[in-house]
Amino acid sequence: MNDYRIQGATGDWEVVIGLEVHAQITTQSKLFSGAATEFGAEPNSQVSLVDAAMPGMLPVPNRECIRQAVRTGMAIDAQINKYSRFDRKNYFYADLPQGYQISQLYHPIVGTGSIEISLDDKEPEASTKTIGVERIHVEQDAGKLMHDQHPTMSYVDLNRCGVALMEIVSDPDMRSPAEAGAYLRKLRSVLRYVGSCDGNMEEGSMRADVNVSVRKPGEPFGTRTETKNVNSVRFVMATIEHEANRQVDVIESGGTIVQETRLFDPGSGTTRSMRSKEDAHDYRYFPDPDLLPVELDDEFLSECRDSLPELPDAKRHRYENEFGLSSYNAGVLTAEVETARWFELLLMESARAQGEPPAKVAKQAANWLISELFGALNKLGTDLENSPISPEKSGELLALIGDGTISGSIAKQVLELMLETGDAAGVLVEREGLKQTSDTGAIEEVIAKILADNADKVADYKGGKDKLFGFFVGQTMKAMQGKANPQVVNELLKKALG
Amino acid sequence: MSVDTETVARIAALARIKLGEDELAAMVPELNAILGWVEQLGEVDVTGIEPMTAVIENHLRLRDDVIDADPLTGGGKRGDVLANAPAAEHGFYGVPKVIE
Amino acid sequence: MTDLTELGVAAIRDGVAGGDFTALEVAEAFNANVAAAQSVLNAFITPTPEKAIEAAQAVDAKRASGEPLGKMGGVPIGMKDLFATKGVQTSAASHILEGFTPEYESTVSQKLWDAGAGMLGKLNLDQFAMGSSNETSFFGDAINPWRRNDGGNAALAPGGSSGGSSTAVAARLCPAATGTDTGGSIRQPAAFTGITGAKPTYGRCSRWGIVAFASSLDQAGPMARDVRDCAIMMEVMAGFDPKDSTSLELDVPSWEASLSPDMTGKRVGIPREYRLDGMDADVAKSWDDGIAWLKDAGAEIVDISLPHTKYALPAYYIIAPAEASSNLARYDGVRYGLRDLPEGAGLQDMYAATRAAGFGAEVKRRILIGTYVLSAGYYDAYYTQAQKVRTLISHDFKNAWSLCDVALAPTAPSAAFALGDKSDDPLAMYLNDVYAVPASLAGLPAMSVPAGLNSEGLPLGLQLIGREFDEQGVLNAGLALEQRAGFVAKPEKWW
Ligand SMILES: [Mg+2]
Ligand SMILES: [Zn+2]
């Protein structure tokens, strides 16, 4: 692995990165009120009296939020704190009706854990790194301000206000934009496997505060800046790139880095200082007196643990060991929970249709999914989640290949027809006459004609040019329009050529 | 610890309470009197004592994840939440323009 | 016919149920008293005579159709203007909430209406319940109906923060009223006006819909003429509320039905640290009277020690302002209440201007103290230390309960003081709650019962503090005192 370095006038600089990821917990209702969390509703239509911080309103926590945070912690092998507390983080802003955010500072629900990232897609095991997670705590999201609707006013929509977030705080363990990108993708993958967050960065369900500092290799950490609410993996990487270079420039031109909050501008790919939150440093955290400590019992914890699905790393290893898949293929199939789910359905359907154990048909399914279906979907500009053909129909197609009804090349044709028409593979093969023939009489007839037409090549073959065997196979298949069973063709050709 | 005018001004800014100069000047000795008095708490030996978390022994109840289970704490009441707003427009709360 | 406004909760409830008079007659009688006194005593911020009439008519209609009338059927009451009441201004006696008309009803007030009570109006109080004299109200002082017997006619404070409540009950403007007690705000005004006020165990009454002052201390309770009336009303007000995370998931006992003045077998603790140097002689004497009365009722009197008593007030004046500074951050001129938007002001300027204009001096003082003690570098020295001391205060009581069942102490260090006497000296004002605050910090049930008049002809109260959940023990000891004190004095009508 190459070390990522910023080349400055005074030498090489190392970048130190930590990420605070805010992940919206997938729930029906908000963290402390019964209002809905659905994205895209009319402004202020999903706001309760509690969310609007009406006088006398009180928070009552949502069990599902606690449960999902705990499950997420378990998924990254973190320490689960049976005792945690909600604190108030006090500051004034128009998107924060209470004048404080209910969060967890002193006693977070999840303590230290870790996430293993892989820096090489081809060989996932070849280059890995463990990124520490310092903590996960549960907190309220804020509302939304709109600045462009009125000449002198900003508009406030509190629909998001009080939606439950997990703040997942990493250690400053990353050293390059690529590592940060890999960490985010892996974290997103884990969250989606667990089902605690949909990972939808466009809708703001996941966003990162990016902490960046630079130092000369081997020296102590430099002063960091925090760029807030960056909402895509690409932007996070761009933020780091820009911020690291900016900091090197500042330091090398005699300046010092101030610890500050910055904002990423996707248009220019640069960051700038965020003046509006300048004086918000003294948050006056204290335990929320409206809430008692969160105390988790063993029954709750074992339910959380028992309900955890197989996670991406474990699944990848199983695909390699149990199914004999290459680690690249296993990695591709397990990176996203939706892919793995689709693959496993396909495997089940294909195994059922072929009357074989899954392990026996797994390689075929994996190869077909990765090299055929992904390609076809890509061409259509869609993805697996929106695939027009189902795992069940795909399984049928694989079974037709497996039992020799169609050849691999005909299968490509069938897949295209399936995507076009939506019809089942069997129906298409029948209707289009694509069935592979094992009718020895017909094949022998064709072979006889080909050998007669190519007497010279037959002579060469007999004279020792073994390679010409492929030529005869090709000619036969061509004459048979690809529908001859290749195995039968081989056998009959061998016989005919003596 | 006693507070000076500058500190009181900083605290007032943090609390978002605009204080006139006279008000600020009057507040300094008042706060100092109160702070001086509460500081006697420092005398108490609290070794091994946990800060109070629940006044009366009680357990935090967690509610089920159900939308609008109780209409009093549910959403879908835009009219109610905007009813008292000094400047509500088009279903939003209006505030002076914020530059982020 | 008897003057209906001389009747208390039980008498009105029973009289309406028995057909001796109608709920409407009762409501009209009290409405008349409210109207006659309003310009002088200023007990109400918003009288709601039509609400009282409406509720009374509903009760009378129920009676006519033979339906049950509820535990407080036909009883009109005053509602401290800290409880959100749907469609009726809820101001917390502040300018910043002037005109705020909630679209919701607090749990406690809803329970009262469901039990057949009606609302005579929203009562005056210290602004955001911060004060001990009702002098911090934006809507002016409430005036204690009592006067000293020196002929000076000095206007006296009715206590606070529930000063409108105490004034109204003492002056027969309502038979009972709600109060809230954060550091004595029910008991001290009750003592200052010769009425009875009780605060249940923290968590008995839901805080949902009550404008928050200090969340870990706030507790609603009844203020009425006697112990029985408090028991009736507290039974209605209390009860588990899933909307309040600190609400106690306990059934409400039948406090009224179980009332008993027999103290045989009960031990009454006398906290030695409450006997302060330079104690007011009349207060000391009334305490001794109380001891004698409870002994007479069959109780064993024991000496107890609450060693951290001295630190209760300073701890309170860290914890309560800290919580308040955060609880009151929501008053920012965005979603409700006052907005002060100076020409060209940005968002943060608007906050600062709105809060400067909307909060009174005492509220500002407490927000600043609270902000300071929570601020970076001071949190542990002040807030954490105070919460540890609070634990010790709670331990003191737990230790005492191994020696006694209920504690007896004065409610306040003096009788009602004159308006203006302490309003320039915050610390002197705070010291008024020296006897009331420890029970608040420990979340314990406590009540004040009138014990007699001092040499100036002003009422004095005695306080009973009980174990957590043992409201019954407190009420019973209160009843034993009440029967022996024979307190029948009432303020002579001058308004
Ligand atoms: Mg952050
Ligand atoms: Zn956060």
Is B21 contained in some domain?
yes
Give A123-146 pLDDT, tens digit per residue: 777 789 999 999 999 999 999 999
| C-alpha distance from B92 to closest chain C C-alpha (Å) | 10
Cα B60 to Cα A49, A163, A287, C247: the distances in Å are 21, 19, 14, 10
Q: At what angle do helices A468-479 and A440-453 cross, to 10 degrees?
A: 120
Q: Do C382 and B38 touch (CB under 8 A)?
A: yes
Cα-based angle B60, B64, B66 (whole degrees, multiple of 5): 140
The secondary structure element, H or E, covering residue C464 is strand C459-466
Q: Which of A254, A279, A304 is the last residue of a domain?
A: A304
Could you tell me which of C110, C209, C107, C221 has the C-alpha nearest to residue C166?
C221
Ligand 1 (ion): residues with CB under 5 Å are A 20, 209
Region A358-377: mean pLDDT is 94
* Lowest pLDDT segment from A350-359, C112-121, C164-173, C407-416: A350-359
CA distance B24 to chain C (A): 11
Question: Which of A275, A304, A333 is the last residue before a domain boundary?
Answer: A304
b/e code B53-83 from CB counts within 10 Å (16+ = b): bbbbebebbbbebebbeeebbbbbbbebbbb
Pairing of strands C44-47, C76-80: unpaired
Would you say residue C407 lies in a domain?
no
Angle between helices A327-334 and A312-323 in degrees, nearest 10: 140
**Domain boundary at A274, A304, A334, which?**
A304
Report the residue count for chain B: 100
Element (H, E) at A17: strand A11-24
| A437 DSSP β-pair partners | A484
Cβ contact, residue pair B52, C339, below 8 Å: no
Residue of C426, C321, C315, C428 whose CA lies nearest to C368 = C321
| Residue C352 resides in a domain | no
Residue C204 in tokens:
């008995």
Structural domain includes residue B25: yes
d(CA B11, CA C36): 45
- A39 and A151 co-located in one domain: yes
Split into its structural domains, chain C has a count of 1
Any idea which residue has 């130092």 for tokens? A215
Query: Angle at which helices C361-374 and B21-38 pack, to 10 degrees?
Result: 60
In a domain, C219, yes or no: yes
pLDDT of residue B100: 66
Instruction: Tell me if A198 is assigned to some domain.
Output: yes
Find, among B77, C483, B93, C24, the residue nearest to A97 by Cα.
Answer: B93
| Average pLDDT taken over every residue of chain A | 93
Of chain C, the end-to-end C-alpha distance in Å amounts to 23
SS3 B1: coil
Question: Which residue, chain included where needed, has tokens 């319940």?
Answer: C129
Neighbours of C495 (CB within 10 A): 15
Instruction: Say how many C-beta atoms besides its own lie within 10 A of residue C384's C-beta.
Output: 18
Calculate mean pLDDT across residues C126-137: 97
Under an 8 Å CB criterion, which residues of C touch A? 83-84, 90, 92, 97, 100, 102-104, 106, 207-212, 214-216, 242-246, 322-323, 325-326, 328-330, 332, 334-336, 347-348, 351, 371, 374-376, 379, 383
Q: For residues C26-35, give the mean pLDDT.
A: 98
Closest in A52, A56, A94 to C209, CB measured = A56
The whole-number average pLDDT for the span B61-79 is 97
- Could you tell me the distance, in angstroms and rounded to a whole number, from the CA of residue A139 to the centre of ligand 2? 7
Residues A290 and A33: their CA atoms lie apart, in Å, by 14
Same domain, A238 and A335: no
Mean pLDDT, residues A460-485 taken together: 87
Q: Are A113 and A79 in contact (CB under 8 A)?
A: yes
Dist. CA C109–CA C80, nearest whole Å:
10
Mean pLDDT in residue range C71-99 = 98
Hey, which residues of C are catalytic here? 80, 161, 185
pLDDT band (50, 70, 90) for residue A6: very high
Mutation target among A81, A153, A300 for the B interface, most CBs of B within 10 A: A153
Burial of A487 (0-12, 13-18, 19+ CB in 10 A): exposed
How far is C156 from C44, CA to CA, in rounded Å? 17
Pairing mode of beta strands A225-230, A261-265 = parallel
Contact C130, C324 (CB under 8 A): yes
B50 to C325: CB separation less than 8 angstroms, yes or no? no
Residue A248's pLDDT band, with cuts at 50, 70 and 90, is: very high
Q: How far apart are CA C25 and CA C74, in angstroms?
A: 10
- At residue A307 the predicted structure's pLDDT band, cuts being 50, 70 and 90, is very high
- Farthest-apart Cα atoms in chain A, separation: 100
Residues in B closer than 8 angstroms to A154, CB to CB, are 94-98
Least confident of A53-62, A279-288, B45-54, C358-367: A279-288
Residue A444 contacts residue A485 (beta carbons within 8 Å): no
pLDDT at A276 over 70: no
pLDDT for C288: 98
Number of domains in chain B: 1
Q: Is the pTM of this model over 0.90?
A: yes
- Is B96 in contact with A63 (Cβ distance < 8 A)? no
Q: For residue A390, what are the contacts with CB-CB under 8 A and spacing of at least 6?
A: none
Mean pLDDT within C149-175: 97
Together in a domain, A300 and A316: no
- How high is the pLDDT of residue A280? 53
B32 inside domain:
yes
Mean pLDDT throughout C456-485? 98
* Residue B96 covered by a domain: no
Question: How, if at all, do strands C459-466 and C406-410 pair?
Answer: antiparallel
ipTM over 0.95: yes
Q: Is the pLDDT of residue A1 over 50?
A: no
Residue pair A195/A341 in contact by the 8 Å Cβ criterion: no
Which two tokens mark C156?
A: 């006296």
The answer to whether C211 and C93 are in contact (CB under 8 A) is: no
Domain, as residue range, for A20? 6-304
Strand ranges (DSSP E) for A119-196? 128-140, 144-146, 153-157, 164-170
- The answer to whether the Cβ–Cβ distance between A33 and B74 falls below 8 Å is yes
**CATH number, domain with residue C107:** 3.90.1300.10
Strands (E), chain B: 88-89, 92-96
In a domain, B73, yes or no: no
Specify if C458 maps to a domain.
Answer: no
Q: Please tell me whether residues A342 and A230 are part of one structural domain.
A: no
| Average pLDDT for chain C | 97
Assess whether A207 and A242 both reside in one domain: yes
Per-residue exposure over C369-380, b if at least 16 CB sit within 10 Å of its own CB, e if not: bbbbbbbeebbe
Residues 241-300 of A with CB under 8 A from B: 263, 274-276, 279, 282, 284, 287, 291-295
Q: Would you place residue A122 in the very low, low, confident or very high pLDDT band (cuts 50, 70, 90)?
A: confident
DSSP designation for A99? S
Using the 8-state DSSP alphabet, how is residue C308 labeled?
A: T
Residue B82 resides in a domain: no
Its domain, for residue B30, covers: 5-42
User: Structural domain tally of chain A?
Assistant: 3
Find the C329 Cα to ligand 1 centroid distance in Å.
22
Give the total residue count for chain C.
Answer: 495
H or E segment to which residue A70 belongs: helix A63-75
HSE at residue B13, side-chain half, CA atoms within 13 A, is: 11
Q: Is position B15 within any domain?
A: yes
DSSP state of B97: P
In a domain, residue A158? The reply is: yes
Answer yes or no: is B34 within a domain: yes
pLDDT in tens, C186-200: 999 999 999 999 999
Residues A247 and A319 in one domain: no
pLDDT at C458 over 80: yes
CB contact under 8 A, A56 and C212: yes
pLDDT (mean) for C435-447: 98
What is residue C377's three-state secondary structure?
A: coil
Q: In this structure, what token pair is assigned to residue C315?
A: 């701890």
Share of chain C above pLDDT 90, in %: 97
Instruction: Please report whether residue A1 resides in a domain.
Output: no
Domain range enclosing C54: 4-265
Q: What is the 3-state secondary structure (H, E, C) of C77-90?
A: EEEECCECECCECC
Residues in chain A closer than 8 A to B65 (CB atoms): 27-29, 62-65
The pLDDT confidence band at residue C423, using thresholds 50, 70 and 90, is: confident
Is residue A164 a part of any domain in this protein?
yes
Is there a domain that residue A289 lies in? yes
A372/A415 same-domain check: yes
- Residue located via tokens 């209406």: C113
Helix (H) or strand (E) holding A353: helix A337-354
| CATH number of the structural domain spanning residue B9 | 1.10.20
DSSP-derived letter for residue C381 is I
